[in-house]
Amino acid sequence: MFEAVLLTVITAATPLLIAAVGELVVERSGVLNLGVEGMMIIGAVVGFAVANQTGSGTLGVLAAILAGMAMSALFAFLVLRLVTNQVASGLALTILGLGLSGMIGESFIGIPGLRLPELYIPGLSDLPFIGPVFFSHDAVVYIGFALVGLVSYVLFRTRTGLILRAVGDNHVSAHALGYSVLKVRFLAILFGGGCAGLAGAYMSLAYTPQWVENMVSGRGWIALALVVFASWLPMRIIAGAYLFGAVTVLTFHAQAQGIGIPSQFLSCLPYLATIAVLVVISANRRLTLVNTPACLGKPFVPDR
C-alpha cells in the first residue's frame, strides 16, 4: 500500500517539477510567463496525437517539446519584440492553448493511449520496495531530476547562468556590458516552453495515457506557484513538487476510502494548499525578495 502511494506521488509530482523548473529559468531572466498551462495542454495533445499516429512514445515526447517551444516563441515575439504586457500575453497564451488543444484533440477522445515504457535496470529494478520506487520509472521521471540538477549547476556555477541572472536582476546594466538582453530572454523562454511541453506529454503518455480535454487541470498554475514557493532556487522545487503531488494523491485515496468529506472539497485541496503556501510566503517580505529577479515582469527596449 505504502509503495503504491509513493509511486503515484512520483507520477503526480513529475509534471509539476518539469514545468516549474522551466518557468524558473524564464523568470530568472526577468520574464513572467503565465502561459504555462496553455503550453502544457498543447504539449499533452500534440504528444498524444503524434505517439498515437506513429506508435512511438519518444516521437510523441519530442513533438510535445517542439509544440511547447512553438507556443513560447509566440509569447516571446509578443513580449520581446512588440513589448506587450507580459501578464496579458501569458493569459492569452493559456486561453489559446486551451482552445487549440480542444480542436486538435477532438478526434482523439476515447482512443486508448500509448504509455511510455518503464526503464529496467538489471539488479536494481528487482530489489524489494527500493527497485519499484526508485529504479522502475519511465525516462521522463529521471529527466525531471536531471533538469533540476542541470539548471542549478548552470545558474550558479557557470558564466551562462551569471549572465542570465544579471539580465533578470538589472537588464540595463547587462545591456551596457554588451550582453543581448533580448537574446538571453528569448532562449530562456524557449527552454521554459520546451519544459512545459514535456510536462504536458508526461500527462497524456504516462500519468493518464489518454487524451481528455483540459486534462492539465490547473497544474500549470501550480507550477507557477512552485517557483515562488522555491524562492527561485531550483533544488527547492523538488520539495515543493512532491509536496503538492502528495496532496493531490491523498485526495484520490481519501475518495477511494470513502471518507465522509465532499469530493468537491477534496478536489480543491491541491489548489487550497497552493494558496495557503503563497500566503505564508508573502507574509515574509524578506523571504519573498531575497531571490526575486529585480526586473521580473519589466519590459526592456534596447537603445535604438
pLDDT tens string 62-86: 999 999 999 999 999 999 999 999 9
178 within domain boundaries: yes
- Determine the straight-line distance between the first and last CA of the chain, rounded to whole angstroms: 64
Please report how the helices 36-54 and 86-104 are oriented relative to each other, as an axis angle in degrees rounded to 10.
30
CA distance linking residue 223 with residue 242, whole number of Å: 12
CATH number at residue 50: 1.10.3470
pLDDT band at 257 (very low <50, low <70, confident <90, very high): low
Q: Does residue 300 form part of some domain?
A: no
Mean pLDDT for the stretch of residues 80-107? 96
Q: Which domain holds residue 200?
A: 2-289
* Residue 176: Cβ within 10 Å count: 10
Cell of 216: 492539465
In a domain? residue 301: no
Task: Identify how many contiguous H helices and E strands the chain contains and give both numbers.
Answer: 13, 0
What was the pLDDT predicted at 259?
67
Is position 304 within any domain?
no
Q: Report pLDDT digits (tens) over 142-166.
A: 999 999 999 999 999 999 999 999 9
Mean pLDDT of 283-292: 73
How much is the pLDDT for 255? 63
Structural domains of the chain, count: 1
Cell, residue 259: 471518507
Q: What are phi and psi of 55, to 5 degrees?
A: 75, 15
pLDDT of residue 260: 64
Q: In terms of DSSP H, where are the helices of 77-138? A: 86-104, 130-134
Is 298 within the bounds of a domain? no
Within-domain flag for 99? yes
Does residue 94 lie within any of the structural domains?
Answer: yes
- State how far Cα 284 lies from the chain centre: 25
Distances (CA, A) of 138 to 10, 24, 151, 241, 298: 11, 24, 21, 18, 39
Per-residue confidence at 256, pLDDT binned at 50, 70, 90? low
The answer to whether position 27 is within a domain reads yes
Position 132 scores a pLDDT of 84
Range with the poorest average pLDDT among 5-19, 40-54, 57-71, 185-199: 5-19
Q: Provide the mean pLDDT of the chain.
A: 90
Looking at residue 179, the DSSP 8-state letter turns out to be: -
Which region holds residue 302: left if phi is over 0, alpha if psi is between -120 and 50, else beta?
Answer: beta
Strand partners, 173: none
